[in-house]
């Protein structure tokens, strides 16, 4: 899969609106959103949706591998994030005034040739070893001063793996670019 062209401001706004509408629908407060059938939001792409309430994480669910159109993925992920991220309590109607929705539209996965090749802040990374898989979006390093080895350490830890698991011969390390935006 080749990299998709960057999303326009209107496409980004449409994805954020779809995600928010999916949360409202899941809470029984609005109609089901309908993703567009053509254009950039109908192209297959991986995505992540993160929800925060009053700045605190409430959910983050995603799909690295495209399971269909980007718009449909964002709707599906936002709805599930509202009440199916086992790490957090479900979103409730009282949370809506303080709800922030973030979307990451992912580019294709590609193997990382060496840890030094990771472009921290420009690329996210995924580490898979056995049934463990963890990832961090590019923004995870923002303002932290991380270099590539430290970023990969945190990707491994997010998978429940030892900090240097990405160096093991059976580990699969992939990188991707992501367009991240929120409202």
Give yes or no for a contact between 97 and 52, defined as CB atoms under 8 angstroms apart.
no
What stretch(es) of the chain map to CATH 3.30.700.20? 9-106
What stretch(es) of the chain map to CATH 3.30.1490.150? 110-178
Lowest mean pLDDT among 1-10, 59-68, 99-108: 1-10
- Which residues, including other chains, have CB under 8 Å from residue 9's CB and lie 6 or more apart? none
Q: What is the pLDDT of residues 73-122, one digit of tens each?
A: 999 999 999 999 999 999 999 999 999 999 999 999 999 999 999 999 99
User: CA–CA separation, 81 vs 89, rounded Å?
Assistant: 10
Output the pLDDT for position 61.
Answer: 95
Local structure of residue 91 (DSSP, 8 states): P
Residue 123 backbone dihedrals phi, psi, to 5 degrees: -130, 145
Cross-strand bridge partners of residue 53? 56, 99
User: CA–CA separation, 23 vs 19, rounded Å?
Assistant: 6
Measured between alpha carbons, how far is residue 2 from residues 19, 45, 52, 103, 148 in Å? Answer: 25, 10, 31, 20, 24
What is the helix (H) or strand (E) element at residue 11, kind and residue range? helix 9-26
Q: Does domain 110-178 match CATH 3.30.1490.150? A: yes
Output the pLDDT for position 5.
Answer: 86
Give the residue-averaged pLDDT of 115-130: 97
User: CA–CA separation, 125 vs 122, rounded Å?
Assistant: 10
Q: What is the pLDDT of residues 21-32, one digit of tens each?
A: 999 999 999 999
Quick one: fold of 9-106?
Glycoprotein, Type 4 Pilin (3.30.700)
What does pLDDT average to over the chain? 96
């Amino acid at each position: 899969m080749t990299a998709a062209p960057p999303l326009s401001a209107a496409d980004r706004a449409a994805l954020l609106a779809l995600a928010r509408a999916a949360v409202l629908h899941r809470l029984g407060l609005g109609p089901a959103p309908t993703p567009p059938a053509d254009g950039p939001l109908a192209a297959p792409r991986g995505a992540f949706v993160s929800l925060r309430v009053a700045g605190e994480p409430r959910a983050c669910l995603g799909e690295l591998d495209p399971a269909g159109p980007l718009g449909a993925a964002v709707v599906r992920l936002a709805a599930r994030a509202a009440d199916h991220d086992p790490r957090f309590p479900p979103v409730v109607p009282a949370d809506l005034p303080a709800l922030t929705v973030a979307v990451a539209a992912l580019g294709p996965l590609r193997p990382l040739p060496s840890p030094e090749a990771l472009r921290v802040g420009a690329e996210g990374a995924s580490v898979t070893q056995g049934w463990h898989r963890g990832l961090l979006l590019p923004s995870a390093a923002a303002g932290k001063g991380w270099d590539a080895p430290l970023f990969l350490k945190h990707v491994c830890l997010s998978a429940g793996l030892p900090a240097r698991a990405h160096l093991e011969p059976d580990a699969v390390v992939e990188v991707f670019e992501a367009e991240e935006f929120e409202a």
